Amino acid sequence: MNAPNASGWKPGTPVEGHNAMSGPDTATGNRALMLEEPLIFEIGHAETTGVDLPEPQGGANRLGGFDRAETIGLPGLSEPETVRHYTRLSRQNYAIDLGLFPLGSCTMKHNPRLNEKVARMPGFADVHPLQPVDTVRGALEVINELAHWLIDLTGMHGVAMSPKAGAHGELCGILCIRAALEARGDAREVILVPESAHGTNPATAAFAGYKVEDIPATPAGRVDLEALKARLGPDVAGVMITNPNTCGLFEPDMKAISDAVHEAGGFVYCDGANFNAIVGKVRPGDLGVDAMHINLHKTFSTPHGGGGPGSGPVVLSEALAPYGPLPFTARDGDGVVHLVEEENAAEFDHTKAFGRMTAFHGQMGMFTRALAYMLSHGADGLKQVAEDAVLNANYVLRSLEDVLEAPFGHSGPCMHEALFSDKGFAEGLSTLDLAKALIDEGYHPMTMYFPLVVHGAMLVEPTETESKAALDQFIMALRSVAERAKSGDESLKTAPHYAPRRRLDETQAARKPILAWNDPDMA
């Protein structure tokens, strides 16, 4: 094996015939550091508690006769047992902290630890959303400062900060479009969405009461502008376009698309999931976008946390900004930041708000982290983020296109992610098999089978926080499994071999769902 980098370092490989995983069974089922861990329901007890609280003292009871008499069934663990339980569980997870996490469209970049520290400052972590505003001016300033960064980076007019995640932001944007259309007495029924879109796009449009129609793509993986123009008309409320799109390509006709949609009386929603590729390089506002959500947990690196929480502020054009939801923040002439809610909306000339998307003011914990991220990078660093993310993706694309088919590789550079297909794999081997083999190589797989427009799609997003050496090792690993897939290596079908679990039976899980633990003694 060639050394993957100039230093001459190469990963250890097992001596022939000595598979590290083979060997005698153990009495515990553990394999040294690979530790099996039971459920809390199997190790905890109703009588154990890891929190010292006073014994109930009797006395007054004003519960209105609703006292809970039955056992709840919640096991407790002492603190040492609790820490050990969750530490053991944590070790069964892959994470960015462990290695490159090339999930396309998901933007798994390093999460700076300063941001964790900042979010825990008492003035942010320990304030109640309904405190008198004079006691939370600093928190409001954070929201306002972040809002201005987002507006400046996107060249838009306003921003709704409260949406809780990307899909919630999409809904917010589409509701703004709907409110703007209704305000001019223009009931339109259709939202156009490219086939390559994230599933949340059509789901959002449908949730907001629209019919969803597909926009066709060109052979180069872009929106077919002429087909789009032909479909536009008085029934089309707007389009939802992801740019850069889910094939990892910039839509060069974006401005022409926006102009055509506006001409036809519709609005342009941009799915900003991939904003990290262009932040500081181009402003969506200059391309005619009316609304775009920004996943703070992608572009601005708030941690994914095993599936959330996210945060999805929506930047809005001048045409849509008046309809943005409450609450939001506004800075007055004296520099004081106000919280604008239902009761003072008129004072801030914001009476057309379409309503409220969530109880409070949005994901404050994500705002503090994202703001610290932006301040750390600055305007110059954010531009570098986009450039390095795009460079890393192109490096992966060009280093592997001889072994994996890159369906759009011929059409020019990609943006922040490289897309491959399963063309050329041996009969019976699939993208899933390759992905599971990559797990054995110590990597989280790339996004699989998405976008839907490419057969057996593999979408690789390395992000800008990977070094060249890390990319080289990943490329070597992916090359190796791709070659095995092409040569028909049957051992791929049973991969992963070295993970805490072998392939899990998802069919059985769905056919007979077990969604909560049932005490076998009580069954």
Partner 1 sequence: MRYLPLTDTDRSDMLEKVGAADIDALFSDVPEEARLSGPIEGLPMHASEMAVEKHMRRLSKKNLAASDAAFFLGAGAYKHHIPASVDHIIQRGEFLTAYTPYQPEIAQGTLQMLFEFQTQVARLYGCAVANASMYDGSTACWEAVAMAGRVARGKKRKVVLSGALHPHYAEVVRTMAKFTEDEIAGAPPSLAAKPDDDGLIARIDENTSCVVVQYPDILGRLPDLARIAEAAHEKGALLIAVNTEPVALGAIKSPGELGADIVVGEGQAIGVGLQFGGPYLGLFAVRDEKHVRMMPGRLCGETADAEGKRGFVLTLSTREQHIRREKATSNICTNSGLCALAFSVHMTLLGEKGLRRMAMENHRLACLAADRLAKVPGVRLLNDSFFNEFTIRLGMDARKIVRALADKGVLAGVSLGRLFPDNPELADGLLVAVTETTSEEDIETLASALEGELA
User: Any idea what DSSP says for residue 248?
Assistant: S
Question: Per rule CB under 8 A, is residue 240 in the interface with partner 1?
Answer: no
Closest approach, Cβ 346 to partner 1, in A, equals 11
Binding positions for partner 1, 133-172, rule CB under 8 A: 134-139, 141-142, 145, 149, 152-153, 164-168, 170-171
Q: Which long-range contacts (CB under 8 A, 24 or more apart) does 471-477 make?
A: 471/100, 471/392, 471/395, 471/396, 471/399, 472/4, 472/5, 473/4, 473/5, 473/11, 474/100, 474/102, 474/396, 474/443, 475/396, 475/399, 475/400, 476/2, 476/4, 477/438, 477/441, 477/442, 477/443
Q: How many other C-beta atoms can be found within 10 angstroms of the C-beta atom of residue 198?
A: 21
Quick one: 200 or 232, whose CB is closer to partner 1? 200
Measured CA to CA, the distance from residue 150 to residue 146 in angstroms comes to 6
For residues 481 and 437, the answer to whether their CB atoms sit within 8 Å is yes
Nearer to partner 1, 397 or 481 (CB): 397
Binding of partner 1 at residue 491 (CB under 8 A)?
Answer: no
Neighbours of 121 (CB within 10 A): 11
Q: Which residues have C-beta within 8 Å of that of residue 116, sequence separation ≥ 6?
A: 303, 369
CB of 339 to partner 1, least distance (A): 11
Q: Does 249 bind partner 1 (CB under 8 A)?
A: yes
Supply the minimum distance, in Å, between the C-beta of residue 230 and partner 1: 22
| Selected binder of partner 1 within 203, 225, 403, 426 (CB under 8 A) | 203
Contacts 24+ apart (CB under 8 A), 306-311: 306/93, 308/165, 309/164, 309/165, 309/363, 309/365, 309/366, 310/164, 310/165, 310/166, 310/363, 310/366, 311/163, 311/164, 311/165, 311/362, 311/363, 311/366, 311/367, 311/370
299 burial via Cβ count (<10 Å: 0-12, 13-18, 19+) = buried
Is residue 516 close enough to count as binding partner 1 by CB under 8 A?
yes
In Å, the largest CA–CA distance within the chain is 78
Between 100 and 482, whose beta carbon lies closer to partner 1? 100
Q: Is 250 in the site for partner 1 (CB under 8 A)?
A: yes
**Which of 178, 231, 338, 350 lies at the binding interface for partner 1 (CB under 8 A)?**
178
Is residue 35 within the footprint of partner 1 (CB under 8 A)?
no
Binding status of residue 470 toward partner 1 by CB under 8 A: yes
Q: In what order do the strands lie in the sheet with 291-293?
A: 158-160, 314-316, 291-293, 267-271, 236-242, 190-194, 211-215
- Residues that contact partner 1, how many (by CB under 8 A): 206
Q: Which is nearer to partner 1, 26 or 48 (CB)?
A: 48
Phi, psi of 450 (to 5 degrees): -145, 135
| Minimum gap (Å) between residue 371 Cβ and partner 1 | 7
Residues across the chain? 523
Chain positions 352 to 371 lying near partner 1, rule: CB under 8 A, are: 354-366, 368, 371
Does 391 contact partner 1 by CB under 8 A?
yes
Beta bridge partners of 315: 159, 292
By CB under 8 A, name the one of 1, 27, 32, 60 that touches partner 1. Answer: 60
- Kindly tell me which residue out of 20, 21, 39, 346 binds partner 1, with binding defined by CB under 8 A: 39
* Sole window of 8-16, 20-28, 201-209, 480-488 interacting with partner 1 (rule: CB under 8 A): 201-209
The piece of 16-24, 231-239, 458-466, 484-492 that touches partner 1 (CB under 8 A) is 458-466
Q: Is 131 in the site for partner 1 (CB under 8 A)?
A: yes
Q: How far is the CB of 50 from partner 1 (least distance, A)?
A: 4
Residue 48 binds partner 1 (CB under 8 A): yes
Judged by CB, which is closer to partner 1: 16, or 357? 357
Residue 95 contacts partner 1 per CB under 8 A? yes
Restricting to residues 75-94, name those near partner 1 by CB under 8 A: 75-77, 79, 82-83, 85-87, 89-94
- Using alpha carbons only, what angle is made at residue 369 by residues 368 and 373, rounded to the nearest 5 degrees? 115
Pairing of strands 418-420, 458-460: antiparallel
Q: Does residue number 18 form part of the binding site for partner 1 (CB under 8 A)? A: no
The answer to whether the CB of 211 falls within 8 A of the CB of 202 is: no
Cα separation, 294 vs 271, in Å, equals 8
Q: Nearer to partner 1 by C-beta: 19 or 376?
A: 376
Given 468, 483, 490, 491, the residue binding partner 1 (CB under 8 A): 468
Verify binding: residue 26, partner 1, rule CB under 8 A. Answer: no
123 near partner 1 (CB under 8 A) = yes
Q: Determine, following the binding rule CB under 8 A, whether residue 187 of this chain makes contact with partner 1.
A: no
CB of 125 vs partner 1, minimal distance in Å = 6
Residue 514 in contact with partner 1, rule: CB under 8 A:
yes
338: contact with partner 1 by CB under 8 A: no
Choosing from 157, 331, 352, 383, the residue that interacts with partner 1 (CB under 8 A) is 383
DSSP codes of every residue in 372-439: HHHHHHHHHHHHHHHHHHHHHHHHHHHHHTTTS--TTGGGS--SS-EEE--TTPPTT--HHHHHHHHH
Q: How far is the CB of 253 from partner 1 (least distance, A)?
A: 9
Footprint on residues 276-305 left by partner 1 (CB under 8 A): 278, 280-283, 286-287, 297, 303-305
CB closer to partner 1, 208 vs 403: 208
Rounded-to-integer distance, Cα 215 and Cα 235, Å:
15
**473 lies in the site for partner 1, by CB under 8 A:** no
